[in-house]
Structure 1
Amino acid sequence: MSFGSRLRQERTRLGLTQQQLAELGGVKRLSQHLYEQDVRVPDTTYLMRLIGGGADVWFLISGTRSGSSNGETLPRSVYVSAFRAVDELARDADGQPLPLAERERLFDFLLTLLQNESSSASLNDIKSRLSALVA
């Protein structure tokens, strides 16, 4: 399931319209629509604002509901740090974000690397690993 699909599902769970979720996240309805269509990916400011409205941001990022146990060994902070690193560093030579599919692959690959090595990686460690991947 894509990020946009999870975002639509979460919006529906909260009983909100696109306009209402856009306002909660501090964006325009068009941006909300583009997020849900997987045309654009929101930044961390948007996601942090959704937390205040009761959204399960962990589900949006990982596809797993908060509190569910599926055998994941990484702490939530590593997932959030990996998301932030991809959001910041997965860009082309002009500074534009890489296509969504490439960012998703980088995120998944980065998490796989981190899961195999260390569950206590810091944001700087994750940025360093991601920089090596996108260079």
Structure 2
Amino acid sequence: MASRGDWSLSFGRRLREARDRLRLTQEQFAELGGVKRVSQHLYEQDARVPDLNYLLRLKEHGVDVGYLVLGSSAGHSAATPNSTDIYVAAYRTVDEFARDDAGNPLPYAERERFFSFLCATLSQTGTPESSTELKERLVRFMRP
């Protein structure tokens, strides 16, 4: 098993690791997240990225969502006590902004890098922003 903070594991691999740790089948784990088994399979294969509701449901069942999304445990990170707000704002922002000209989501690796960048940037500021404030900042940044 990889150590916490090991970015050599993709989101899908970390998700599978979490499911294995709980000794659940894909169907059982999918049920925790409120999705079908086929969606769970696609998440674990890094073919699709789950939405925020899925992650929040897993968190309600004790899954370390910080590890799934960031590759490091919330208990082992230097994030502020309100780090959940930072991650939620970053996740929502990536979901909205990480799209190509046709409106399709960018490839998983690019969205993951963007998410990591946003979380690192927001963690350094020490002041979690709402997703609305973060979007407004990004829109100003992206204007020519």
Please classify the TM superposition score into its range, dividing by the shorter chain length: 0.7 to 0.9
Say which of 95, 102, 109 aligns to 2:103. Answer: 95
Which residue of structure 2 lines up, in the alignment, with residue 8 of structure 1? 16
**Displacement, 1:129?**
3.7
Are 1:33 and 2:41 counterparts? yes
Which residue of structure 1 lines up, in the alignment, with residue 78 of structure 2? 71
Instruction: Give the gaps of 5 or more residues in structure 2.
Output: 1-8
Render the CA deviation track for 1:29-50: whole Å, top value 9, x for unaligned.
1111111111110001111121
**Displacement, 1:133?**
6.4
**Displacement, 1:134?**
6.7
TM-score (norm 2): 0.79
CA RMSD across the alignment = 2.2
Which residue of structure 1 lines up, in the alignment, with residue 90 of structure 2? 82
Structure 2 CA distance for aligned equivalents of residues 103 and 10 of structure 1:
21
Which residue of structure 1 lines up, in the alignment, with residue 50 of structure 2? 42
TM-score (norm 1): 0.83
Which residue of structure 2 lines up, in the alignment, with residue 24 of structure 1? 32
SS at match of 2:109: helix
Render the CA deviation track for 1:107-134: whole Å, top value 9, x for unaligned.
1222233234343322222223444567
